[in-house]
Structure 1
């Protein structure tokens, strides 16, 4: 009987730990996504301001997706640069890649904190 009680207690404790980790990782994802949106709103190029104001985050299944809702067609053109119609090139304005690197680093730190407890 004691072995069954011990096994049940271990299973209950592991289930509780895994649900705590899952909840903590979900919160970390949401926090990092919101911080990244704020960072992108500050560092994005500003001509009219619509592009800068368009950054949003949304939950898709278990992931947090960051996207530009208003001027989504410009993200690649501004980040990578593009050819002009009459010849020549428009230089790139990298603003997404640096924010992504910071977001990855922040998420890893928060995930390690959650897992350690």
Structure 2
């Protein structure tokens, strides 16, 4: 149903519509980022070394939202200092190196690389 407005109210109506569209797209992009972070977390937990299983369970998602910026960080809350040692390998005290067990980078490359394309598709489809 069409809305009848006066000519002098056109700018206000257009501003309101743009604000509503921006708010809707912002919330949909935030939901898309949350879904991607959940996928990355699931993949990291599946790929993480499982000697006891506690290391994989330590991964969590931190949410950092600023003004028009949505950020999710997948990190290990319990063993944060161990992540880079397992991801890249490290020198052993008796000599030699431990093998690298990549688990964080492959998950990010699989799902994180897809996120900009998904956001573009969302914007092109109009939400």
Please say if 1:83 is aligned against 2:79: no
RMSD, aligned CA: 1.6
Q: Gaps (5+ residues) in structure 1?
A: none
Q: Verify the 8 A CA contact 1:40 1:52 in the aligned structure 2.
A: yes
Report the counterpart of residue 7 of structure 1 in structure 2. Answer: 11
| CA distances 1:60-84 after superposition (whole Å, capped 9, x unpaired) | 2342111111221211001111000
Give the alignment of 1:97-108 within 5 angstroms: 97-108=105-116
Greater helix share, structure number: 1
Q: Verify the 8 A CA contact 1:33 1:64 in the aligned structure 2.
A: yes
Report the counterpart of residue 60 of structure 2 in structure 1. Answer: 56
Q: Verify the 8 A CA contact 1:50 1:71 in the aligned structure 2.
A: no
Please say if 1:68 is aligned against 2:76: yes
Aligned length: 117
Report the counterpart of residue 26 of structure 1 in structure 2. Answer: 30
TM-score (norm 2): 0.83
Of the structure 1 ranges 53-62 and 38-47, higher mean CA displacement relative to structure 2 is found in: 53-62
Distance 1:103 1:4 in 2: 47
* Deviant stretches of 4+, over 3 Å: none
Deviation of 1:106 after TM superposition, in Å, equals 3.0
Q: Gaps (5+ residues) in structure 2?
A: none
SS in 1 for 2:62: strand
| CA distances 1:36-77 after superposition (whole Å, capped 9, x unpaired) | 111111111111111111111121234211111122121100
Distance 1:82 1:4 in 2: 69
Please say if 1:109 is aligned against 2:117: yes
